[in-house]
Amino acid sequence: MIPLLTIKSLEKSYGNNNLFSNLYFDLKSKEHIGLIGMNGTGKSTLLKIICGKTLPDTGEAILQNSARCLYVPQKEILDQEKSIEENLYQEIQKHIHGEKELQKAVKRALGTGYFNNADQLCKSLSGGLQKRLAITRAVASEPDLLLLDEPTNHLDINGIIWLEELLKNAGFSFIVITHDRYFLNSVCNNIMELGKQYPDGFLRINGDYNRFDKEKINFIKAQKQQQTSLSSKMRREDQWLKQGAKARTTKAKYRINQAHELREELSILQDRNKNIATVDIDFSTTGRQTKRLVAISDIKKSFNGLKIFDSITLNLMKNSCLGVVGENGSGKSTFISMLAKKTKPDSGKIHWAENLKIGFLDQQRMILDPEITLKQAISPTGKDSVTYRGRTIHIVTWAQKFLFSPRDLDMPVKRFSGGEKAKILIANLMLQPADLLLFDEPANDLDIPSLEILEQSIQEFPGAVVIVSHDRYFLEKVSDQMLYLDGEGNATIVAGYDQILKEKKLKKEKQKIKKISRSKPRKNSEIKFSFNEKFELEHIEEKILKIELNIEELEKSTQDPKITTDPKKLADLCSELQRGKEKSDKLYERWEELEIKKTNSE
């Protein structure tokens, strides 16, 4: 099969920073690649080269003849003064010709994106809806290859689920840059990490992120073991060379040449393994012994008469982590701002332990002055050193803990990426001993290795932590419990995302059933609702939840390479999945029937 995309001998540098060199790979039709890597490895640059928006220094990106490649950047490029429909029409007409076909495509796109008001101006849309619009119009333009740069940023839980469903069974190829590991597991059948720690400049594994992570650990472990082995051999050869060996015989000459080749091979391995470095995150605590740090009692908040959330009551204890989730506009940032003493509730009380020290990581990174240098940003006192846990650390050493080089110190903050700005704020947060840590979207822009270190640091922090995030993998890893804000004023403590998704689905089905029951009035005398039926109705949700959970597990298994490469296992699994869905459909039908019967018997 001729590849849809071929990358040949690609190289790109910015000044002294070489992003990648001699890069070779290809992409076939319907391959779904998740592109990951540390901040600054050139992921976004690679996508721009593929779509022709940036030129490489050498090499080329070759698309099949007539293949259509579309690119959705991190920041949406939309006409803010035009409506949703006009923005769709404006882009889709570049790729689909014929007025009738164009109108059909625009209409389908409005449905795909769930846009109920096609005339709404783009400038009035939230960041999440603008992102959805940008993705929808690209998909509606029928690409052969779609390039997505951090598409989950700014999307709420509903938006991310929408995007997953859109991409899971996509008939086109795509490359998506994201640090959302749950998302990678859900939609990608290939994971590719850029990095100088790999011989080819990248590591690519056929499978989801979980499989990639295991393969990567094994690869890095083997490469380090290889370095240890070569180092041992090199010590023996150095001892032999120090004895004054001369190339007088063919055998001696051969061994000397071998020693030089060994030294060169070892040097290359050492350079690769140096690039495996990760950020060093470890938050300081005051050592407070108080168990209850914050008591929240029946707090409520509204804006312009619109209820944001109603009656939140909970305690924040030592050694605990609360995840806050919900749709955009549901009040997550407002809630965390209240804990930071920046916003007041309309009613109710928040009681902080006496002299409680609070550390706050802001979502918008607004507290960073873009004009100051990195050195000024990570050394609040302006000195050449910082004080961390009572120790004086030189500014160069402190910067290196967050993977900044000495030459970065004089660069202005505005030159750094979103992930690098997040690391600057984390560096400042580590200098402030705290009892309570508040994070508003900390996962935005951070690369996966940094997220893993942040997860570990949060788990080890002895105080209380509250995190607002749409990153399900991250929150599931660190949270003891979650506060779900549904956007309708309701606040619920839940065990995890699965519970949220099931409740949302059941709520949708209940609304559907109520609508149907209202449209089918019948006389009470015709209906009898028996005791057995009442018992059945009370327990039917439990049965549905159990089957839905099993279906989710079966669907995950269909992405397992061990299953997909075994036709018999795959066929058996698909049959089981089909039976499960049929059983679920019958239960929903029965639930609907029982609800109607109950309503009309009353």
Q: Which of 381-390, 565-574, 585-594 has the highest mean pLDDT?
A: 381-390
The per-residue b/e assignment along 475-499, b for 16 or more CB within 10 angstroms, e otherwise, is bebbbeebbbbbeebebeebebbee
Q: What is the mean pLDDT of residues 284-304?
A: 88
Edge-to-edge strand order for the sheet containing 358-361? 358-361, 436-440, 464-468, 320-326, 481-485, 491-494
Edge-to-edge strand order for the sheet containing 5-14? 17-27, 5-14, 58-63
Please state the length of the chain: 602
Q: What is the SS3 assignment for 26-61?
A: EECCCCEEEEEECCCCCHHHHHHHHCCCCCCCEEEE
Q: What is the mean pLDDT of residues 190-218?
A: 94
Which pLDDT band, with edges at 50, 70 and 90, does 72 fall under?
very high
468: β partners: 324, 440
pLDDT tens-digit series, residues 123-158: 998 888 899 999 999 999 999 999 999 998 878 888
Handedness of CA 185, 190, 191, 197 (dihedral sign): positive
Whether the pTM exceeds 0.85: the reply is no
Distance (Å, rounded) from C-alpha 156 to C-alpha 500? 13
Q: Which of 115-129, 176-190, 304-318, 434-448 has the highest mean pLDDT?
A: 176-190
Rounded to the nearest integer, the mean pLDDT of the chain is: 85
Of the listed ranges 16-20, 80-84, 159-163, the least confidently predicted one is 16-20
Is the pLDDT at 597 greater than 60? The verdict is: yes
DSSP 129-185: HHHHHHHHHHHHT--SEEEEESTTTT--HHHHHHHHHHHHT-SSEEEEE---HHHHH
Which pLDDT band, with edges at 50, 70 and 90, does 525 fall under?
very low
Of the listed ranges 103-107, 380-384, 593-597, the least confidently predicted one is 593-597
Of the listed ranges 320-324, 381-385, 392-396, 481-485, the least confidently predicted one is 381-385
- Residue-level pLDDT at 513: 54
Residues near 208 by Cβ (< 8 Å), separated by ≥ 6?
184, 185, 188, 189, 191, 559
Is the pLDDT at 402 greater than 70? The verdict is: yes
Q: What percent of the chain has pLDDT over 90?
A: 39
Q: What is the SS3 assignment for 493-550?
A: EECCHHHHHHHHHHHHHHHHHHHHHHHCCCCHHHCCCCHHHHHHHHHHHHHHHHHHHH
Residue carrying structure tokens 């998740």: 34
Which pLDDT band, with edges at 50, 70 and 90, does 98 fall under?
confident
